[in-house]
């Protein structure tokens, strides 16, 4: 969201109210991308000259929420790659939307504690605030990135008219490889 009201809007410290305003803006931008016939189809694609193929899958539908996956799909020598891979929860009753992950492995997981620190080893200051500062910062950064990307998509011409139903779901390799650990036993 580019703000013309606030000078130096990029340098403002994230606060809960600003995060809620950002999530409201993300919802508004998604309404300009999601076609009216989203209730009848699960998979969509948008082709715009000068832009990669934009793909959108509806992963879950509930009375007041939807869960989407939005990504670019690149094809080169019969190899499909996807990036960025955004998983988005839309709250229709609150008119807000949030990114839950940009990582395909984490699409359905919502972190409950600071990454890379076991729950019992959180700093004492983190236990006094909810949510922990690091978790809030990460949420802020991911939602800012989604907001900027949605603005870019709309600027390129992706929208309700270009988003057409398709029969296949998003498939492909991640453009940025994800380290997969396996255990043998």
pLDDT in tens, 35-78: 887 788 999 999 999 999 999 999 999 999 999 999 999 888 88
pLDDT of residue 105: 46
Query: Is the bond leading into 84 cis (omega within 30 degrees of zero)?
Result: yes
CB atoms within 10 A of CB 88: 23
Q: Does 126 or 21 have the greater pLDDT score?
A: 21
pLDDT in tens, 124-140: 554 444 557 778 888 88
Most confident of 69-78, 109-118, 176-185: 69-78
- Scan for tokens 């193929």, then name that residue: 53
The answer to whether 159 touches 32, Cβ cutoff 8 Å, is: yes
pLDDT of residue 54: 95
Question: Which region, left, alpha or beta, applies to residue 161 given φ > 0 means left and ψ of -120 to 50 means alpha?
Answer: alpha
The answer to whether 135 touches 176, Cβ cutoff 8 Å, is: no
pLDDT of residue 137: 84
* This model's pTM is above 0.85: no
- What are the φ/ψ torsions at residue 6 (nearest 5 degrees)? -105, 120
* Residues 6+ positions from 1 with CB-CB distance below 8 Å: 21, 22, 25, 147, 151
């Amino acid at each position: 969201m580019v703000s013309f009201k606030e000078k130096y809007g990029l340098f403002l410290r994230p606060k809960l109210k600003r995060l809620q305003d950002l999530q409201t803006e993300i919802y508004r931008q998604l309404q300009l991308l999601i076609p009216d016939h989203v209730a009848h189809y699960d998979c969509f694609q948008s082709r715009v000259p000068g832009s990669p193929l934009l793909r959108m899958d509806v992963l879950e539908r509930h009375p007041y929420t939807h869960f989407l996956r939005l990504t670019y799909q690149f094809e080169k020598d019969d190899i499909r790659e996807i990036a960025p891979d955004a998983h988005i929860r839309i709250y229709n009753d609150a008119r807000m939307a949030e990114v839950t992950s940009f990582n395909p492995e984490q699409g359905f997981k919502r972190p409950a504690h600071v990454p890379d620190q076991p729950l019992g080893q959180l700093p004492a200051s983190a236990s006094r605030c909810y949510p922990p500062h690091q978790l809030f910062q990460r949420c802020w950064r991911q939602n800012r990135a989604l907001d900027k990307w949605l603005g870019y998509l709309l600027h390129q011409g992706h929208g309700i008219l270009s988003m057409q139903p398709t029969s296949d779901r998003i498939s492909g390799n991640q453009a940025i490889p994800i380290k997969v650990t396996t255990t043998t036993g």
